[in-house]
Structure 1
Amino acid sequence: MELNDKIEKALHAEQKDHEISAGWRLILASALGIGFGSVGFATYAIGAFIDPLGKEFGWSRAEVQGAIAFGVGLGGFAAPIIGMLIDRYGGRSIAIYGLLGVTVGYLMASTAGGNLCYFYLAYAAVAVLGAGSGPVSWTRAVAARFDRRRGLALALTLSGTGMAAIVVPPYAVLLVENFGWRVGYVGLACLPLFALPFVLLFFFPAKSGPAAAAAAPVSTDAASAPPTGLTLKQATSSYRFWLLLFSILAMYLGITGIVPNLIPALTDKGFTPSAAAAVQSVYGFSLIVARLGIGWLLDRFWGPAVAALVLTSPVMACLILIGEPNYATAIIASALIGAAAGAELDLLAFFTARYFGIRNYGRIYGFLYTGVAFGAGLGPVAFAYLSDLTGSYNASFQGALVLFALGGTSILFLGRYPNLSAETRPANH
């Protein structure tokens, strides 16, 4: 009996390691898709365009950042619809058309004149036409494919946003400073096309919908068995859904308020645009390192404790940015914010699967993602508006400090992981 137990444990350990090696192609395609999709780099790129657009057209910083609010807000409304379509029909075609939609939107932005409404319309096109390239498409595919290494697989996938955070700010600044903001937007339009070949070759999500459930084999392996999970109604009846939504909203108001405004905030404090872009790139490195570390920890420890530790770290970053940071302390602040950003989307995907299951993951994640979209839309313009109003970003950093403290600690009240029993499985016919 003891020998059988040891053999079973060894087999389970081997299966854990095999999951990542067997599914690396899906992870690679998903990481590139999420990094260069509709929300992967929008907030990282806008900082390079704020002052050039303001000088040419007289737009305020808040007006330029309003494009993010307008576009991401529409993307948030689209996310639940995309989630339902993915649960029903699968995500491959939806993701491919979404990447092409992002390219169309940024090409529209490159043709903007002094008409602010048209500029907003271009960002709306990025969000709506590109909605299928949002996180729900990629995380749903990975969460369904991986079970024992789900935390690490999601971390690797969502590290695509960290890659974008490293590459896009200096890339955008380089294009804008040397060729102008119009060429800068054309350069952004090319990024989804870089991801597209990998998606075409490697992104084959598991089948979704009733037909997939009926075709699923009976298995003791949770990764291959029919998916379990709550309905959307059951999920929204749970306090965990609303607690998770509150935490997401608070964190994303703070994170996306700071990140796209970091370049102008640092230039106000005497940094050159290139130095400020270099500081923001550190955010991307930190995001990737934190995300991989968190993914490893989530597979081994209680997730809310891991989350609370990382999500409260930007409090120190805000204290640094309120003062007069030098290059070294600005890098520390950027790294701390990156660590929290590295956690948030990873934790949203992981907690959605853990607390609500896979069966209706797209629907539930899509509705929770509206918190991300609302925070990502409101944060940049609110921070820029406070800057225009007060002549400094310090008031914004003070508000972000409170948001990080509340959003980071509230996650502890999610409680233990529920047992999603066999009763939640759709019946095979």
Structure 2
Amino acid sequence: MTEASPRAMNEDSIRYEGWAVTSAASVGVMVSFAPIVPYTFSLFLDPLHAAFGWKRQALGGAFALAAMTVAMISPLIGLLLDRFPPRRILLPSILIFAAALASLSGLGHGIIRYYLTFFVLGLVANGTAQFAYTRTVLTWFERHRGFALALILTGSGVGSIFIPPLTEWMIESHGWRSAYLMLGAIALLGIPLTALIVRNRPDSVSVGRDHSTISGATVAEALRSPAFWILAAIILLGAFSENGLVTNLAAILTGHGITPYIAALALSVRGGAGILGRLGTGLLIDRFSPQRIQTFILLLSAAGMVVLAYANSSATALIGAAMLGTGLGSEADVAPYLLAQYFGHRHFSMLYGLTWTAYAIGGATGPLTMGHLYDSAGSYKPQFVVYMAGVALAATSLSLLLRRKKMPHSAEFDELSTTASPIES
């Protein structure tokens, strides 16, 4: 057994600066695109339809536009994060994101402005979310990397607990325009800690350093690896089912006779369960096979979707939301962990950006598909949600092909297995 490095030993101390960076990053993620836009989107569907007569598919198209914009821009944001200090990308993105959210309060009957605003939201989305913070946190951790990544994503779960019911209360009490102004103000809360604390580890990759001296695969090597494409496919299918359901969840539940308050509460329960799921996943992937963990959480998500498909009471709605939250979304812990282990740090953010392209494609087509099904049928039928569960099961099947192997200095990343392998020491 090799002796732990000083860096790894430092990680065990609560005074280790990396934990402060991780905590600040978690707060930033808590008020970022991730918990705000997907988790409140469905709460505005009925008010905007009542105000302007826009159909569900047309409204879902705006979310799809944002997601496709994320798909196109994420590799570029990843390239910038690999080259520049994180605050140069994070702080301008947060400011633009907050301003765009607040501007939705001034919507008129023309839907073009709605679409343009969601395009802007998509441009800066990953400059505000866990994507932008992950690269920085990875520079601080080796031994507790999985748990640190989980803490970042916990911020999204915390935000999704409080933001949806607060938004629903604002819509009912003061109208949807005031709710958009409030969301813009909430987004600004990420600026102080990000500006003061979030930074790369000083002895990590410095700006302008030759990337050939850093361990890890080149982009070309990673793209030749089946493991990369399997990861991307799992992420795409997970995003399709997750976003297709979450962006319509409130409307689905109210269509089943659930009250708007319970529907908003279900979104919060989904977020709260996501906190437990992500923290548990973060602790487990530092110790056990990430492939096995990923398979389990995807199966749990599919089961939660089936429960939600037939939810006709407050209890079943909340149980289904809890199952969904514990599972789907926790795979976001596993993806960056596996990327760093398979392909190293040299081009981590660029490769992570490419997987976010897959996520955004799934995130765009899922809500659009659900909106189309609703407009065709005139209601949310249970089989629509079961269809999303089938997509999650397809992601589960792919995860069985993925084997994690720790190869920080090798370009041979294409070993696959139909059975899970334990973490190699």
User: What TM-score results when the alignment is normalised by the length of structure 1?
Assistant: 0.90
Q: Which moved more, 1:13-22 or 1:120-129?
A: 13-22
Change (3 A) 1:77 1:404: same
User: Can you list the C-alpha shifts for 1:114-143, whole angstroms capped at 9, x where unaligned?
Assistant: 111110111111121444223321011111
The alignment yields a C-alpha RMSD, in angstroms, of 2.3
Q: 1:296 maps to what in 2?
A: 283
Deviation at 1:395, TM superposition (A): 3.0
CA contact (8 A) 2:237 2:394 kept: yes
2:189 maps to a residue whose letter is F
Q: 2:312 maps to what in 1?
A: 325
Q: 2:419 maps to what in 1?
A: none
Q: 1:259 maps to what in 2?
A: 246
Change (3 A) 1:74 1:403: same
Tell whether 2:195 aligns with 1:195: no
Unaligned runs of 5+ in 2: 413-425
Q: 2:403 maps to what in 1?
A: 415
Deviation at 1:160, TM superposition (A): 1.2
- Measured in 2, the distance between the counterparts of 1:310 and 1:278 equals 22
CA contact (8 A) 1:254 1:403 kept: yes
Q: 1:221 maps to what in 2?
A: none
- Measured in 1, the distance between the counterparts of 2:314 and 2:173 equals 24
Deviation at 1:195, TM superposition (A): 1.3
> 33, 46, 69: which one pairs with 1:38?
33
Question: SS state of the match for residue 408, structure 2?
Answer: coil
1:96 maps to a residue whose letter is L
Q: Which has the higher helix share?
A: 1
CA contact (8 A) 2:221 2:411 kept: no
> 143, 151, 176: which one pairs with 1:181?
176
- Measured in 2, the distance between the counterparts of 1:20 and 1:327 equals 44
Q: Which moved more, 1:404-413 or 1:315-324?
A: 315-324
Change (3 A) 1:156 1:9: same
Q: 2:134 maps to what in 1?
A: 139
Q: 1:111 maps to what in 2?
A: 106
- Measured in 2, the distance between the counterparts of 1:28 and 1:12 equals 19
User: Can you list the C-alpha shifts for 1:361-404, whole angstroms capped at 9, x where unaligned?
Assistant: 01100011111111112212211221221222423212111111
Q: 2:338 maps to what in 1?
A: 351
Unaligned runs of 5+ in 1: 216-225, 425-429
- Measured in 1, the distance between the counterparts of 2:280 and 2:368 equals 31
Tell whether 2:57 aligns with 1:62: yes
CA contact (8 A) 1:68 1:380 kept: yes
- Measured in 2, the distance between the counterparts of 1:20 and 1:233 equals 39
Q: 1:239 maps to what in 2?
A: 226
Deviation at 1:51, TM superposition (A): 0.1
Could you tell me the percent identity over the aligned residues?
Answer: 29
> 275, 294, 300: which one pairs with 2:262?
275
User: What TM-score results when the alignment is normalised by the length of structure 2?
Assistant: 0.91
> 297, 300, 306: which one pairs with 1:313?
300
2:137 maps to a residue whose letter is V
Tell whether 2:364 aligns with 1:377: yes
- Measured in 2, the distance between the counterparts of 1:415 and 1:54 equals 46
Change (3 A) 1:146 1:113: same
Question: SS state of the match for residue 328, structure 2?
Answer: helix
Change (3 A) 1:131 1:415: closer
Deviation at 1:276, TM superposition (A): 0.8
Q: Which moved more, 1:40-49 or 1:18-27?
A: 18-27
Q: 1:399 maps to what in 2?
A: 387
2:173 maps to a residue whose letter is N
> 335, 340, 354: which one pairs with 1:367?
354
CA contact (8 A) 1:79 1:131 kept: yes
Aligned length: 410
CA contact (8 A) 1:287 1:340 kept: yes
Question: SS state of the match for residue 257, structure 2?
Answer: coil
2:38 maps to a residue whose letter is T
Tell whether 2:237 aligns with 1:250: yes
Q: Which moved more, 1:348-357 or 1:45-54?
A: 348-357
1:374 maps to a residue whose letter is I
Change (3 A) 1:199 1:169: same
Tell whether 2:65 aligns with 1:78: no
- Measured in 2, the distance between the counterparts of 1:101 and 1:405 equals 37
- Measured in 2, the distance between the counterparts of 1:61 and 1:233 equals 41
Question: SS state of the match for residue 121, structure 1?
Answer: helix
Q: Which moved more, 1:254-263 or 1:198-207?
A: 198-207
Tell whether 2:98 aligns with 1:121: no
- Measured in 2, the distance between the counterparts of 1:20 and 1:42 equals 34
User: Can you list the C-alpha shifts for 1:87-106, whole angstroms capped at 9, x where unaligned?
Assistant: 11232110111111111211
- Measured in 2, the distance between the counterparts of 1:157 and 1:386 equals 35
Deviation at 1:412, TM superposition (A): 2.4
2:268 maps to a residue whose letter is S
CA contact (8 A) 1:47 1:263 kept: yes
> 133, 149, 155: which one pairs with 1:154?
149
Deviation at 1:205, TM superposition (A): 2.0
Change (3 A) 1:12 1:363: closer
CA contact (8 A) 1:383 1:393 kept: no
1:245 maps to a residue whose letter is A
CA contact (8 A) 1:92 1:205 kept: no
Question: SS state of the match for residue 146, structure 1?
Answer: coil
